[in-house]
Amino acid sequence: MAILKGIYKFFSSFLFAAIILILLTIVTLFGTLAQKEMGLHGGVKEFFHSYGYSVFDASPFGIPIKFPLPGGMTLMFLLFISMTLGGVVHVKKRVRGIPNLIIHCGMLFLLVSGYITHNMKRDGYVALYPGTSTNRAQSYKDWQIEVFELGENDEAKQATVIPWENLRPIGDEGSQVFTSKAWPFSVQVENFYRNARPIPTSAPISAEATGPEINGFKLLRRETDKEVAANFPGCFAKIIPADGSDAAAELILSGTSDRISPDDAAMLAGFEFEGKKWGIQLVKRSWEIAFNIELEKFIFEKHPGTTKAKNFESRIIWREDLEDEGKKVAVRMNDPMRQSGFVVFQESYGPPNPGPGEQMYSQFAVSDDPADYFPLIALIIITIGLVAHFVWRLAEYISKSSAKRRAA
Partner 1 sequence: MSTKKQIREEASQIEAEEAKGEQGVRIFYLLVCLLLFACLIIASRSAWFLATHASNAKDISTPLESYEPWPESIVENFSNIRVQNGGRIKPAHTFARFALIQVNNSSKARFETQDGEKHKISAEEWMLDVLFRPDLAKDLPFFNVDDTEAIVAIGVPPKYGDSHRKRDRYSYNQIAAKRAELAGESGRITQKRREDPDYQMSRLEGITDRLATNVSFFEYMNGQFGFARKGEGLASDQVLPQDLKLAAQGMDIVGLLDVMPEMTVQQLMQEMGREAATENEKAIQKAFQLFFFFARSGQNLTLIPPPDAAEDQWYGVGDLLMEGLEDKSKRAWVKEELKVVTDIVDSQKAMWTALAELPEDASNDDREAIVKPVAAKFETLVDTQKKEAEERLLAKRDAIDVEIAAADDSLEKQRLQESRAELKMEGAKVEQEVGLYTSSYFMNSLSYFILGFILLAVSWLVPGSKFAKIFGWLAIGVIVLALGYNLLGITMRSIIRSRPPITNLYDTIIFITGVVVLLALMLEYFTRRGIGTIIASLSGVLGMFLSLRYEVKEAVDTMDPLQAVLDTNLWLATHVTTINIGYAAGMLASFLGIAYLLYRFLRPLPVVLKGLTGNGASANTRIFDEPKNVRDNHKLIGKMTYGIVCFCLIFSIIGTVLGGIWANYSWGRFWGWDPKENGALMICLWTLVILHMRMGGYIKDIGMAVFSIILGMIVTFSWWGVNNLGVGLHSYGFTDGVMKALFITWAESILIMACGFPLWLHGRSKDKLKKEKRERKRRDNEVGGDIPPLPGEV
Chain residues in the site for partner 1 (CB under 8 A): 13-15, 17-18, 21-22, 24-25, 28-29, 31-33, 35-36, 39-40, 43-44, 48, 61, 110, 113-114, 117, 123, 302-306, 308-313, 315, 328-330, 333-334, 336, 343, 345, 347, 365-367, 369, 372, 375-376, 378-379, 382-383, 386-387, 390, 393-394, 397-398, 401
Q: Smallest distance, Å, CB 77 to partner 1?
A: 16
Indicate the burial class of 104 (C-beta count within 10 angstroms; 0-12, 13-18, 19 or more): buried
Contact 281, 268 (CB under 8 A): yes
Tell me 210's DSSP state: -
Nearer to partner 1, 7 or 18 (CB): 18
Nearer to partner 1, 62 or 275 (CB): 62
Nearer to partner 1, 203 or 299 (CB): 299
Among left, alpha and beta (phi > 0; psi -120 to 50; other), residue 330 is beta
Q: Smallest distance, Å, CB 205 to partner 1?
A: 18
Q: Smallest distance, Å, CB 356 to partner 1?
A: 13
Q: Smallest distance, Å, CB 95 to partner 1?
A: 19
Nearer to partner 1, 53 or 397 (CB): 397
Round the CA-based radius of gyration of the chain to a whole number and report it.
Answer: 28
231 Cα distance to chain centroid: 14
Nearer to partner 1, 202 or 306 (CB): 306
Q: Smallest distance, Å, CB 88 to partner 1?
A: 15
Q: Dump the DSSP string for 89-124.
A: ISS--SGGGHHHHHHHHHHHHHHHHHHHHHHH-EEE
Q: Smallest distance, Å, CB 388 to partner 1?
A: 11
| Closest to 37 measured CA to CA, from 267, 223, 165 | 223
Contact 51, 71 (CB under 8 A): yes
Across-strand partners of 214?
217
Nearer to partner 1, 25 or 132 (CB): 25
